[in-house]
Amino acid sequence: MGKWGKAKMHQDDLLSITREKFNQAVKEAKPLFCYFSVTEACNLNCKYCGSDSKKPLDNELTTEEVYDVLDNIAEAGTMAVLLAGGEPTSRKDLLQIARYGAAHRLRMAVNTHGHFIDKEYAWKLRDAGVLEVKVSIDGLEETHDNNRGEGSFKRAIEALKPGVELKEIDRIARDYISDNHYGKNFGHSLGHGVGLSVHELPKVSNKSTYKAEEGMVFSIEPGVYIPGYGGIRIEDLILVTKTGYEVITKSPSASAEVITGL
């Protein structure tokens, strides 16, 4: 009895400590991340847009009012803010907003379709304290343009300038394959550097710590492999240029490497 009674007492103590820690965590709870829609203005007409964004609202927040909101967010202990919309880069004061948030020790990010971001504006975002820019890509060109309008894919891709994290490129491709129910069949990294050797750094993978730099050449080779049936992999070589990228593969995309099961 003594042995089991002692064990029961330890269980009660553990439950008591757990409850105490939980109650304390609830009292100190704070939102660590905030999605802040700063405008309803958008020049696209995406089919799936939940907010039906087109024109700015008549009573949209002024710059000073946005500052007040950011003050509240910072006081709440929030660490990161994603400026979104609508299309946040349609606001003329977006750089001021980002700079204000960064000055209040908020990790500022921007969610954009990329149409209004050129090299100059990208540098201005960085100088304003923006740490992440998320460019929306819905899939390959046909899928993306079907959702967002003809030509929107190329304009979004053009926003992917030197400086983008290679693990983000891997994520975009991996998410697309997963959305089409083949995520578990894509088991290797998206690509690798090509130079004096066929395989060299940097790796284009979800663990990569590299960013795209002008002059880099790396492969982009997503693949799907189905056990007992076969697989397919399409490989392109990408050159990172001063303003974006260039596909230097000359063979058509339809020319794919097919591995059939024997």
- Buried/exposed code over 107-129 (b: 16+ C-beta within 10 A; e: otherwise): bbbbbbbbbebeeeebebbeebb
Name the residue with higher pLDDT: 34 or 261. Answer: 34
pLDDT at residue 206 is higher than 50: yes
Mean pLDDT across the stretch 224-242? 84
Domain containing residue 107: CATH number: 3.20.20.70
Supply 218's token pair.
């790396």
State residue 159's pLDDT score.
54
**% of the chain surpassing 90 pLDDT:** 21
State residue 89's pLDDT score.
93
Mean pLDDT across the stretch 76-92? 91
Asked whether residue 43 falls in the same domain as residue 149, the answer is yes
Asked whether residue 130 falls in the same domain as residue 249, the answer is no
The total domain count for the chain is 3
Q: Strand 33-37 to strand 80-84: parallel, antiparallel, or no bridges (unpaired)?
A: parallel
SS3 182: coil
Task: Determine how many CB atoms are found less than 10 A away from the CB of residue 141.
Answer: 16
> What gap in Å lies between CA 87 and CA 111, rounded to an integer?
8
Total number of residues shown for the chain: 262
State residue 254's pLDDT score.
46
Note whether residue 43 is domain-resident: yes
- Which of 2-16, 20-34, 50-64, 106-120 is the most confident on average? 106-120
Name the residue with higher pLDDT: 201 or 47. Answer: 201
Mean pLDDT across the stretch 113-118? 82
Range of the domain at 246: 184-262
Asked whether residue 13 falls in the same domain as residue 41, the answer is no
The gap from C-alpha 160 to its chain's centroid, in whole angstroms, comes to 12
State residue 65's pLDDT score.
96
Note whether residue 146 is domain-resident: yes
- Segment among 124-128, 140-144, 180-184, 209-213 with least mean pLDDT: 140-144
- For 26, list phi and psi in degrees, rounded to 5: -65, -40
State residue 257's pLDDT score.
46
Asked whether residue 42 falls in the same domain as residue 18, the answer is no
pLDDT at residue 138 is higher than 90: no
Asked whether residue 137 falls in the same domain as residue 215, the answer is no
Supply 128's token pair.
């304003």
pLDDT tens string 163-190: 778 888 888 888 878 877 888 888 888 8
State residue 10's pLDDT score.
67
Cβ atoms of 108 and 63 within 8 Å: the answer is no
Choose among 15, 37, 44, 50: nearest CA to 152.
Answer: 44
The H or E element spanning position 36 is strand 33-37
pLDDT tens string 36-77: 999 999 877 776 666 666 788 889 999 999 999 999 999 988
> What gap in Å lies between CA 84 and CA 86, rounded to an integer?
6
| Angle between helical axes of 63-75 and 94-103 (0-180°, round to 10) | 30
Note whether residue 82 is domain-resident: yes
Cβ atoms of 192 and 224 within 8 Å: the answer is no
Cβ atoms of 85 and 39 within 8 Å: the answer is yes
- Segment among 115-129, 224-238, 248-262 with least mean pLDDT: 248-262
Note whether residue 175 is domain-resident: no
State residue 154's pLDDT score.
65
Asked whether residue 152 falls in the same domain as residue 85, the answer is yes
What is the average pLDDT value for the chain, to the nearest integer? 79
> What gap in Å lies between CA 14 and CA 19, rounded to an integer?
9
